């Protein structure tokens, strides 16, 4: 009887000291938390580890080791009823913090807190080891994303062409703004091209790459409240409604939910209308000393039975540049009469040709198409003071305004202050510090100034785009 009692006491002491009952695979429960999650570079992130004793016994000499992979530094570490120590590897990429606890009761919970400050975006990978003298080491892993910052990036699709045809060389604008609160580095604009739309280039010189239908434009860094824009030059190969889609982001940056990170728009590519039109040259090429260009008159007639809303005149066979071209279809430049032409009606347009020799060249071939009314386009920029318009004896109207050499200027016109007729195309590039602009009627404006009850003008110095 006395020997049996000794055996019971010995077994009980052996169990308290950490016997086979503590050798099970999950001796501890581990809970992990991070605030904030994701973390942000150059800002503190607080981690919490809660270790629970899942055995039926008290365990002694508990050690919790955290190996943290990621550039940054520990700021603090604490544990109740124990102490903590930390170290860093020689390359600065592995931080180690060790928590020591004298004992942990059955179902007891030990809470450890430590603070870390990451220095760059990426990930913080942590391996946690829990061990005692008489239990197998238990480990687990946690990963916390690190953002470079917060940047509310938005994108919008602007200046989508109206009235274009398949084969036209056109462009549209993607405008991006960073509303902060942080500067965003390496902002990337992703544009998905629909089938039937070919990319020709990106302005103003942003680097980009294209994989299939996806075009990624690298915009660089954007400070808080800064914006920029990229213009995509494209060519539709088919007619119909083409869906444009864009999104913006910056690697490592948290973009708040609900912001306009994505945008879409529809480019409608038309087909020529049923109108029957003719175009013919009605003058020889003559040098205009005021503009420095050769000019030649074209007459468009509507020989069909129905009116048309706008007329496109295609000009081919020129050996020199058509200076007042309003667009190009394939390799053929064109000008547009942007006013209705009724059945049986006729309208004259001027072709402005740049010829360095200032002598007549070969006559071009001209043809006319029934097209939708283009625009109206509304350029972005700053207003420029305009001198009082002067009406000349030949019916043209001249305006003069100050300019900066090399900058682009657009003239808006209309019969009232709302300038509903839109922009006179093409825009002009200033060759000097003042510019005289001449309204000679179509195709620069929709009609001759002499045929308008009144005509008002506004000049805008274009900002990008």
pLDDT for 23: 41
Residue 452 is assigned to a structural domain of this protein: yes
Q: Are residues 118 and 18 both part of a single domain?
A: yes
Domain containing residue 239: 149-269
Mean pLDDT of 412-417: 84
Task: Among 245, 269, 293, give the residue marking a domain's end.
Answer: 269
Looking at per-residue pLDDT, the higher value among 2 and 351 belongs to 351
Q: Which residues pair with 2 in a beta bridge?
A: none
CB 323 within 8 A of CB 371: no
Lowest mean pLDDT among 41-55, 67-81, 122-136, 248-262: 248-262
89, pLDDT greater than 80: no
pLDDT per residue as tens digits for the range 273-317? 999 999 999 999 999 988 899 999 999 999 999 999 999 999 999
Q: Domain check: are 9 and 136 in the same one?
A: yes
| Planar angle of CA 56, 58, 64, nearest 5 degrees | 110
Q: Which residue has the tokens 């306009």?
A: 260
Q: Tell me, what's the pLDDT at 17?
A: 37
> Helix (H, G, I), strand (E, B), or coil: what is residue 20?
helix
Q: Which two tokens stand for residue 252?
A: 């490592």
Averaged pLDDT for residues 211-229:
95
User: Would you say 279 and 313 are in contact if contact means Cβ atoms under 8 Å apart?
Assistant: yes
32-36, 92-96, 298-302, 393-397: least confidently modelled range: 92-96
Of 87-96, 318-327, 424-433, the one with minimum mean pLDDT is 87-96
Residues 90 and 120 in one domain: yes
Same domain, 163 and 256: yes
CA 147: distance to chain centroid?
A: 20
Residue 341, in any domain of the structure: yes
List the 381-384 sheet strands across, edge first: 381-384, 456-462, 408-414, 422-429
Number of domains in the chain: 4
Mean pLDDT across the stretch 37-42? Answer: 90
Domain final residue, candidates 207, 238, 269: 269
Mean pLDDT of the chain: 88
CATH number reported for the structural domain that contains residue 338 in this entry: 2.60.40.290
Read off the pLDDT of residues 53-76 as tens digits, 9 standing for 90 and up. 998 889 999 999 999 998 888 889
What is the pLDDT confidence band of residue 121, given thresholds at 50, 70 and 90? confident
Query: Which CATH number goes with the domain that contains 117?
Result: 2.60.40.1510
Between CA 147 and CA 123 the distance in angstroms is: 8
**Cis omega (within 30 of 0) for bond into 181:** yes
pLDDT at 376: 63
- What does the DSSP assignment read for 411-442? EEEESSTT-TTEEEEEEEE-SSSEEEEEE--T
CA atoms of 79 and 60, how far apart (whole Å):
16
Determine contact, residues 152/140, Cβ cutoff 8 Å: no
pLDDT band at 7 (very low <50, low <70, confident <90, very high): very low
192 and 176 both lie in a single domain = yes
Q: Cα separation of 118 and 122, whole Å?
A: 9
Mean predicted confidence (pLDDT) in 435-457: 89
Residues 74 and 143 in one domain: yes
């Amino acid at each position: 009887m006395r020997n049996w009692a000794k055996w019971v006491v010995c077994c009980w002491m052996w169990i308290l000291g950490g016997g086979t009952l503590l050798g099970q695979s999950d001796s501890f429960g581990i809970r992990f938390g991070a605030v904030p999650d994701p973390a942000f570079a150059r800002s503190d992130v607080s981690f919490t580890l809660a270790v629970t004793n899942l055995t039926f016994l008290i365990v002694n000499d508990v050690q919790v080791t955290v190996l943290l992979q990621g550039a940054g530094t520990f700021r603090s570490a604490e544990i109740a009823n124990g102490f903590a120590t930390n170290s860093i590897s020689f390359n600065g990429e592995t931080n180690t913090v060790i928590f020591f606890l004298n004992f942990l009761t059955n179902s007891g919970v030990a809470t450890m807190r430590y603070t870390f400050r990451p220095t760059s975006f990426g990930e913080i990978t942590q391996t946690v080891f829990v061990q005692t003298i008489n239990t197998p080491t238990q480990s687990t892993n946690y990963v916390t994303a690190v953002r470079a910052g917060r940047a509310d990036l938005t994108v919008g699709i602007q200046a989508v062409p109206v009235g274009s045809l398949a084969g036209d060389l056109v462009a549209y604008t993607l405008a991006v703004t960073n509303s902060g609160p942080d500067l965003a580095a390496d902002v990337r604009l992703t544009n998905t091209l629909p089938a039937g739309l070919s990319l020709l280039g990106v302005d103003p010189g942003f680097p980009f790459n294209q994989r299939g239908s996806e075009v990624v434009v690298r915009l660089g860094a954007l400070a808080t409240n800064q914006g920029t824009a990229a213009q995509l030059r494209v060519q539709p190969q088919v007619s119909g409604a083409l869906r444009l889609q864009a999104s913006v982001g910056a690697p490592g940056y948290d973009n708040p939910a609900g912001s306009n990170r994505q945008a879409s728009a529809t480019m409608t590519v038309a087909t020529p209308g049923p109108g029957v039109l003719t175009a013919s040259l009605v003058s020889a090429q003559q040098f205009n000393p005021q503009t420095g260009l050769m000019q030649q008159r074209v007459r468009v007639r509507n020989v069909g039975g129905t009116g048309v809303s706008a007329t496109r005149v295609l000009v081919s066979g020129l050996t020199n540049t058509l200076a007042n071209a309003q667009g190009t279809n394939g390799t053929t430049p064109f000008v547009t009469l942007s006013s209705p032409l009724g059945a049986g009606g006729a309208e004259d347009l001027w072709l402005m040709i740049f010829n360095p020799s200032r002598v007549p060249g070969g006559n071009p071939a001209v043809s006319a198409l029934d097209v939708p009314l283009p625009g109206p386009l509304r350029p972005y920029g700053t207003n420029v003071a305009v001198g009082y318009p002067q009406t000349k004896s030949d019916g043209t109207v001249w305006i003069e305004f100050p300019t900066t050499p090399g900058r682009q200027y657009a003239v808006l016109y209309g019969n009232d202050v709302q300038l509903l007729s839109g922009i006179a195309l093409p825009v002009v590039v200033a060759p000097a510090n003042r510019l005289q602009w001449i309204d000679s009627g179509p195709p620069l404006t929709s009609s001759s100034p002499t045929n308008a009850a009144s005509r008002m003008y506004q000049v805008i110095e274009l900002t990008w785009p």
